Every structure is written in structure tokens, then in C-alpha cells.
Structure 1
Amino acid sequence: MASNRNLLVLPGDGIGPEVMNEVRKIIAWMGKKRAVGFDITEDLVGGAALDKHGVPLTDDAMKTALEADAVLFGSVGGPKWDNVEFDKKPERGLLRLRKEMDLFANLRPAKVFDPLVDASSLKPEIVKGLDIMIIRELTSGVYFGEPRGRTKLANGDFEAFDTQRYNSSEIRRVCAVAFELARKRSNKVCSSEKANVMHTGVLWREEATKLHKEKYADVQLSHMYADALAMQLLRSPNQFDVIVTDNLFGDILSDEASMLTGSLGLLPSASLGAADATGRRKAMYEPIHGSAPDIAGKGLANPIAQALSYAMMLRYSFDLDKDADLVEKAIENVLAAGYRTGDLLVGNTDGVKKVGTQEMGDAIIKELDRLA
């Protein structure tokens, strides 16, 4: 691959810079050993940007993100910025990236690696072989709907309000991503909403059904209320392949699904925009674990989710499936060899090698060398 692919790296706050540093090693290895190179720009986001520039994301950084072939994101936030005004909170930088890049489809895989089947809070026989993908609509719904705000009532009470909004086009485009992805997996989609109590849920079910009939009749489509799906994820998660849902329910359900794997430190995500005339999509890749300020700077963080986010980038932005497979295989082999960061130390620890952030990153590089 030509080295003029433009990658914006935004390490962010907390453990973000630590785990990103380990992934930069993998990026360098891939450039040297696999000719998978990038022109890399690094910038600030979140609290780091707020401290230096007074905003959680500068206009220049936003412009760079819009022009990049992909964005590799770390994490934002922490108690240091708890009391800043709402519009300047570190998380607003992330929301601005998602909104202005129009990253409407958030892909969150939940996969249980065989070496970690005992790390799940569920019985091994329930989660063994789990490999599901939750697709969350990311740029509409209650997180962005207007009107929203807070007011003081005449009786002295405070009232806060948020608006859940969706239109047909927003629903159809994210469902299309789900159907297309399902065709490359087990060809099953479960669409989830609350059509029993919400107008947006009724519209969601209608549009998902119509799109399925028009273009994707070969894919098996089912519908499930979000609360029922939350229960089924704990009861029998392997019944699902691809799940598609709205912004709020997707936020909740994907976090629930992530814990089936044993640790947030293992889980990547991709946020994709619409394909242009060349098929290129704006895209951002990030771990779902957050900034973990309690362990930041201590060398304890698990870099695997960030590394798997990089692998998703190779797969979905650059069609480099074999290179993505190589990174994922190296990580699985390192886990099989017993390497564990603190978040993975559960159950029987016989044969386990407790390591920190850098040691885990080095083990992945060593395994890449062996596989290559």
C-alpha cells in the first residue's frame, strides 16, 4: 500500500497516550515488515486540547480529521475536567468529531477469545465462541435531538428535557450497514427498538422492515425490544450475529455485550460515515474502555482494545483483511501464551504472566515477528 494514506492520531487523555504508544509500535512494524505505511499526523483532543487551547477540539484538528483517510482515537475525560462548563467538557470533542464527520454507524464487536473464556462473568458454555457485532446509530437520537435543556419551574422545581428524534433516512442508512455486514458474516440481523412505547421505535421497525424487503430479503431479519434483547444477551448471546439499534439503546446494549468478553480492555470499535463516489468512508476507530484515570500513568492499561481498533481500521478503511487478520492472530496467540494485564486476571491464574502496558505491546510485536 502506498505510504500517502493519511492517518490522524488523537491519543487524548488518561490511558489514551499509553495504549496509543504501543499501537504506534505495531504501526511502525507493519510499515517496515508489511509495507503498510501511513502519513501520520498527531493532535490533541479532550482535556489535553482544553488545557492547551481552551477547547476540547480545535478547528484545525477538526479540519485534519475531515481530510484524513482515517482517525485513530484514544480516550477523553477525567475528574480533572468534571467542573468545566458543559460545552467545553472533554467528551464534546469526541461528539464533534462524530457529528461533523457524519459517523453515523458505530460498529462494536463483542468476541470471546478462547484463552479468556473463563474471564467472562457468564458460564463458559454460554459465551464460548461468542462473536457478535452491535451496530449503533451514532449521530441522531436523544443525544442530539432538539429541543434539549434545563429550566426552573414556577414552583421552584428544576426540569430537564431531551428529545428523541429520528427520520427515515437516518434509520435506513444505518440498517443498510447492518445488512451489508451481515452478508459477510452469518447473514442474520436483529433490529432493536421500543416500538411498543416510542414513536421513534415504530418508525425504526417500519423502515428496517421496508429496507429489508426492498434490498436485503436474503438476510434473515428479526426484531426485538431493547429491554428483551438486554435479557437475551445474558441468557443466550450466541443466538445473535449482527444487532442494529439506535444511539441510546446502542450505547447501553454494546456496553452490556462488552462485559460478556471479560474486560472492556479487549474491545475495539469503528465509527463509519457514508461511502462517497469512490467508496471511501470517513472513519474513526477507538477502544470503548474510556480514559481510566484511576490507572493512568501507571503502565497498567491493557493496549489490546486500541490495537484491535487499529486492526479494524486496516479492515474497514483500507480493505487490508490479511494484515488485520495478522494483528488479531498475534493478539490471540499472546493471550493463549498466558500474557495478562491486570484487568484480565480472573479465575485460575496458573501459567499466567502478569504484564503491564509496555510488556503486552512488546509481546504482540514479538508474536508478529514469529508469525511473519
Structure 2
Amino acid sequence: MATVMKDACGREQGLAANVPSNLTDWAWITKISFPAFLAICTIGNLLGLILLRKDAKSTKRTFLLCLFSVSLCFMWTRLFLYLGIGVWRLPDPESLYGRFFAATAGYWFYMDVFLYLMAQWVVLAFTAERYIAISYPIYHRARPQKITAIGAIMIITLVGVASSLYTPIGYYWLRANPGPKNNTSLQQMSESLMEWRRVDMWIEAVVRLLVYLAIIGLDIAILRTLHQRKYSISARNKARSTTASPTNIPVDSTIDSRNKSKGLAQLKTHRNATTVLLCGSLFFLVTQCPEVVMSILVVLNNPPACAFQITVKFLLIYGPIQVFLVSSYFSLNFLLYISPFMYLRTVRCGSSGLESSSTGLSSAQSICTTHTISPHYASSQSVNR
């Protein structure tokens, strides 16, 4: 007779062996899609890193280099996790991989949480930087932009390292202190670690939700500012052409043409980096929504809330969908960051050459430059037992 497992709220947890076979079919989403995503991620992000080496040094380049590196490391980290938790059945898992994974799983869970937080916060920092560049251009130009971007990434890295420490500490504590042999309840941790887990769980849910909402708010603010800036430039150019004196048409038209070209060049420069950002951040918001929802459900699944129960049946359906969306972002984001950038750069190079010859602008003024179960939840459950 199967033993009934209970969670931290005292509710029956259920056993995977009692789940209908049709629900386990959802695992094939991860089994089939992840290898394809991993191959795309490896080739695409390496290509993105190579292309960015030829780009001019800027905050956009700094943030994209960080995002591509994080995406590459994240997907390979998940490969080690999925091999360990049995997404694909190995012929002899204990001798081939089991011992290695049991000894290093804390590290892989740690890197999974850390790299995900890193990616989320870098997108937020990139979005905030674009908003400042568009809304407060004088302040943005007055500061050392590249140093500021590198400083922001270093702070994000340090905070991510510190905020993810519970995962490996909790895992290796459980490994060093095995639970009772009767298996009537989930393994309990020390009181201090349980309190740390509760605090970490709430902080993770609140921070992820706030970052998610902040990215949405900044994207809306950027679009609104760009619309206002475009309207302002058009109105100013229209006013200049209307009030121009007939006796000074040659001089005024030349000055107006140069001012108009300069204003449009600055606007296109901002649009280039901003379009790259908006494409990537929109894809991030769509694909990461289930991950944010899961962090909230984990809070509701544990004391003191106990308002929602994450069952095995729920995970068998929700988990593969969540993993598919997360993997799609980290594998395909390079397309949404690189493609608009390369397209706009090509268009701008062609148009700037024609514009220079027709208006007499110098070359210096040219704008063309020569799981079946999510590892997050699995780690939280393993250290919450």
C-alpha cells in the first residue's frame, strides 16, 4: 500500500504513481522542445555575441552582451538539471549521472535561480536606461554611459548571488540530514532554515511581480515619450517652414534642413536601441508571465497562507507549459534583439548616404557607423521538505 505524503500545510500531497497516464503525456512537450531550444540558443546567442563585437561600444551593447551570455549559461544549466530529475530516462542513471547530480544539484539549482533573476533584472535595467535616455537626454549624455551600465550589471550580479544563496544551503543541509525512514511526511528543516525559506519565498514572489510590473510601466512610458517627441519635432519643423521669410529662403532652408536632419538623426538613434529593447521586453513579458504566477502560487501553497495546493497533477500540466515558454525566451530572444537592430542599421546606412549627398552633410554627421517539473519549483520543494 502506497504511503500518503503530506505537505507543510498538512494536506495530502498525492503520488506521481497515482496520476492518470494521459497527464504524463504533457512531459513530451519538454522532452521534445528543450533539445531544439538548446541548439537554437547555443548557435543564436554565440552568433549574437560575435555580431555585437563589431558594434560600437554603448550601453545597448553592454546590456545585450550580458543578456546573451546569461541566456546561454541558463539553458545549459537547465540541461544538467533535466538530466538529473529524469526528464529523459537514461539506461543506468545511477552509474552514469545520478551520483554526479546528487553531489552537484545544489549548484545547478543555485545557478538556475541566479541566472533567471539576472536576466529579469538586466531587462529592467536596460528598460530604465532607455527611458532615461529618451526622457532626460541631457542628463543621460552627461554621465559615463558605459561605466554606468557595467556598474548596474555588477550590482545586479552581487544582489543575485546573495539573494539565491538559500537554494544551495537548503539543498545540502537536507542532503546532510536525511529525513525519517517512515516517509509519512515531507522532510523538515531546522527552524532557522524554515524561517529563511519563508522570507526568501515572499521576497522572490514580491520582487518578481514588482520587476514585471515595472517593465510594463517603463515600456508604456517609453512609447508615450517617443510619440510626444515625434509630435514635438514635427510641430517645430512645421512652424519653422511656415514662418520662414521669402527673402531668406536659401539660408533658412539650409539651416532648417540641417536642424531637421540632426533632430531626426537623434530620434532615429534612440529609436534603434529602443525598438530593440521593446521587441525583447515584450517577448519577455509574454513568456515569463507563467513563471511570475508560479512564484505567487508557491507562496499560497505554503504556510501561513495555505490558500492554494500545488498538486502533482497540476505540475504535470502547468510545468511543461511553463518550461516551454521560459525556454523559448532564453533561446529565441537573440532574434528579437538582433534582428531589429541589424534591419534598422541597414536602413539607416542606406538612407544616410542619400541624405548626405542631397543636403551636403559631412560624413561625421552620418548616423551610420562603420521539464516535467520546473527546476524553480523543484528546488523550492526539495528544500522545503
Q: TM-score, normalised by structure 2?
A: 0.30
**Greater share of strand residues, 1 or 2?**
1
> Which of the pair is proportionally richer in helix?
2
Which structure has the larger Rg? 2
Q: Which has the higher contact order (CA 8 A, sep 6+)?
A: 2
